[in-house]
Amino acid sequence: MLIKDVLGFKPTYGKHCYFAENSTLIGDLVIGDHCSVWFQVVIRADVNSIRIGDRVNIQDGAIIHATYKRSSTTIGNDVSIGHNAIIHGCKIKNNVLIGMGSIVMDDCIIESNSIIAAGCVLPKGTNVPSGSIYGGVPGKLIKSISNKNINEIKRIAKNYITYSSWFKTTKPL
């Protein structure tokens, strides 16, 4: 993994995290416990802070950034960010699934127990209420979330803790 200091800020992270060898962590970044940052992920906290809670998985190719002097990025606990998603200057609360290839723009707020469908684009300032599934371009309410969906969000977050354990114990050939 590449860890870069910038302007006196150095990324920090909690216990039992997994970082793929080609992931990049930059600047004013704090990551909680039991998180996984997968292959080719870039988390660039050079222009504003990024705070990531516990049990968050950031899947292959995702990019997390912020906006200079305006919009930091905050990600709560038990969040799964799908492959190639872009998260930019927004707030994601707890127990959220961000689908593959989604884009979440500045000043969006995604409340807890929500799903952003694969390929969804949330324009600047979108507020996703708790218990919602949003999809499309631009992102709109598709339906309310069910208990089955909430359990699925939790299952995915938990599974990524297991997946990352496989890589922590693997020895090079």
Report all structural domains of the chain as residue ranges with CATH numbers, in order of start.
2-169 (2.160.10.10)
pTM above 0.85, yes or no: yes
Specify the length of the chain in residues.
Answer: 173
Point out the residues of the chain with pLDDT beneath 70: 169-173
C-alpha 170/C-alpha 124 separation (Å) is 41
Cα–Cα nearest to 113, from 145, 135, 141 = 145
What is residue 168's predicted lDDT score, i.e. its pLDDT? 77
C-alpha 45/C-alpha 16 separation (Å) is 22
What is residue 165's predicted lDDT score, i.e. its pLDDT? 93
pLDDT digits (tens, 9 = 90+) for 12-59: 999 999 999 999 999 999 999 999 999 999 999 999 999 999 999 999
Q: Which amino acid is at 134?
A: Y
What is residue 172's predicted lDDT score, i.e. its pLDDT? 53
**110 within 8 A of 87, measured Cβ to Cβ:** no
- Look up tokens 């870039």; give the residue: 42
